[in-house]
Amino acid sequence: MKSSTETQKLVVVTGASAGMGASAARELARRGFHVLAGVRRDRDADALRATGVEPVMLDITESEQVAALAARVADDPRALHALVNNAGVQVNAPVEVLPLEEWRRVFDVNLFGHIAVTQALLPALLRAGGRVINISSIGGKYAMATYGAYAGAKFALEAVSDSLRREVSPLGVQVVVVEPGGIRTEFATRGIATANDLAARMTPEQHERYGGLVRANNALMASGTASGLTADAAARVVAKAVTVRRPRTRYTAGRDAALIMRLGPLLSDRALDRVLAANLRRHFPKEAAVRPAGAAPSRG
């Protein structure tokens, strides 16, 4: 339901070209906000443009585009109610295999880009008493095999969110983290394609060590995505974080995320290793070794 006050407020959503970001932009517009929706291509802008949704060209790793967004917000008489940091890339590969330039790209998009946008828009958020919604992941709490770069950036985003919350909550700005599990979007599909491309560049020795692991992880990712939350359902969690009067510091999105967040703290590192390895083992190709790389060997 729209309120007269919400129609006077802006929300910025980054990474709104498709998936959860696009759904969040539409859901927030439906609730009466004017949404500045960050996209990187004209065709995505054309598909997203609607009442209450204004696409803006935004690559969060490009300082000129971040500055243009900040200027657009500053020129608008409406208060900035929320920034939803949703842009991201998923890159999965063993630590040994992933080139350093890919590590840097993942951190640029999944961490430093969010910091850049947050820094640029914090003055407007401070004036309005708004809030920052950082889209993290269950990977921001628990890192599975091949998730080193992605989880590393998300772990860092969780830490930055905690630090930022403690800095700006006394100033009237709330900081909220949303931790999705599997979401039925193209995000994981693109991640699988990237993983396969990186696997194709492995040396024969690396392929012997990690080939089965990569294939098993891709199968697990596809399975989790197929049974995951819809983008629209995830967007409603984001909208709750944006609109509820007293938001929690963290929200999960999806049953798998809620389960892992409850189960994880109850297990030791070794016990959690065994749980994750057993879940992954079901997806290993028949010709590959049964024990996933990195899993603790059984002791007789």
- Give the phi and the psi of residue 157 in degrees, each rounded to 5: -65, -40
Q: Which H/E stretch holds residue 105? A: helix 100-107
Which residue from 128, 69, 83 is spatially nearest to 241, judged by alpha carbons?
83
Q: Is 147 a catalytic residue?
A: no
Cβ atoms of 225 and 188 within 8 Å: the answer is: yes
Question: Could you give the angle at the alpha carbon of 230 between the alpha carbons of 234 and 21, nearest 5°?
Answer: 50
Euclidean distance between CA atoms 98 and 105, whole angstroms: 11
CB atoms closer than 10 angstroms to residue 165: 18
Hunting for tokens 């709330």 — which residue is that?
174
Cβ neighbors of 94 (< 8 A, separation 6 or more) are: 145, 146, 148, 206, 209, 210, 213, 214, 293
Question: Could you give the angle at the alpha carbon of 194 between the alpha carbons of 139 and 14, nearest 5°?
Answer: 60
Burial class (CB in 10 A: 0-12, 13-18, 19+), 114: buried
For the chain, helix, strand, coil in percent to 5 are 55, 15, 30
Euclidean distance between CA atoms 41 and 56, whole angstroms: 10
The token pair that represents 99 in the structure block: 């080139």
Active-site pick, 147, 150, 210, 251:
150
State the virtual CA torsion across 59, 62, 68, 74 in degrees, nearest 10: 90
Q: Give the residue numbers annotated as catalytic, written as ranges.
A: 150
